[in-house]
Amino acid sequence: MKLYRIAKNDYIRDLSGFGAQLYGGRWNLKGTAVIYASECRSLATLEYLVHMPLSYEPLDLSMATLWMPDSVSIEELSVKSLPRDWKTYPPSLKLNQIGSKWVNRRNTLLLKVPSVIVKGEFNFIINPVHPEIAKVKIVEVLPYRFDERLLR
């Protein structure tokens, strides 16, 4: 299985989840370490882009390809299982709690969650404290720039 993530060059090889732990995110409370990744490069691009200020182009980004065996443990959240307000921005506290509780249970390496941005596509939350984290390998890191048309 391959997953993709975009991050600043200084942090692209960091699989500790420290950045998400510092700031929190849709699927984790501040203080809970997770790694956000996407099922395809284009979704990773959109997920990063929606959090950037308009007309801002960071020049110090990379895209990492993460590989892990297809046999790693995965829990999937269906849209039907989520609270009615799961798409709101900023995200509801309920979603933060769902993800943080999942991390603390340590039952699976991956949490497959629906993308808010692209219906029918999925992001994956990686639990850096799960024993299977050792199976996650960074197999490629490439410099990344957004197409200028996306920044207009």
Report if residue 137 sits inside a domain.
yes
Residue 49 half-sphere exposure toward CB, CA atoms < 13 A: 18
pLDDT digits (tens, 9 = 90+) for 58-101: 889 999 999 999 999 999 999 999 999 999 999 999 999 999 99
Residue 20: inside a domain: yes
User: Does residue 56 belong to any structural domain of this protein?
Assistant: yes
Question: Please, are residues 126 and 17 in contact by the beta-carbon 8 Å criterion?
Answer: yes
**How does residue 14 score in pLDDT terms, banded at 50, 70 and 90?**
very high
Q: Is the pTM of this model over 0.85?
A: yes
Backbone angles phi, psi at 84, to 5 degrees: -55, -35
CA dist., res. 92 & res. 30, Å (int):
13
> Total domain count for the chain?
1
Percent of the chain surpassing pLDDT 70 = 98
- Contact of 144 with 52, CB cutoff 8 Å: no
How much of the chain is helix, strand and coil, in % rounded to 5? 30, 25, 45
Instruction: Tell me whether residue 151 is in a domain.
Output: no
d(C-alpha 90, C-alpha 71), whole Å: 34
| Residue 138 counted as domain residue | yes
pLDDT digit string (tens) for 96-150?
Answer: 999 999 999 999 999 999 999 999 999 999 999 999 999 999 999 999 998 878 7
Domain of 33, in residue numbers: 2-146
Encoded tokens for 62:
């990379």
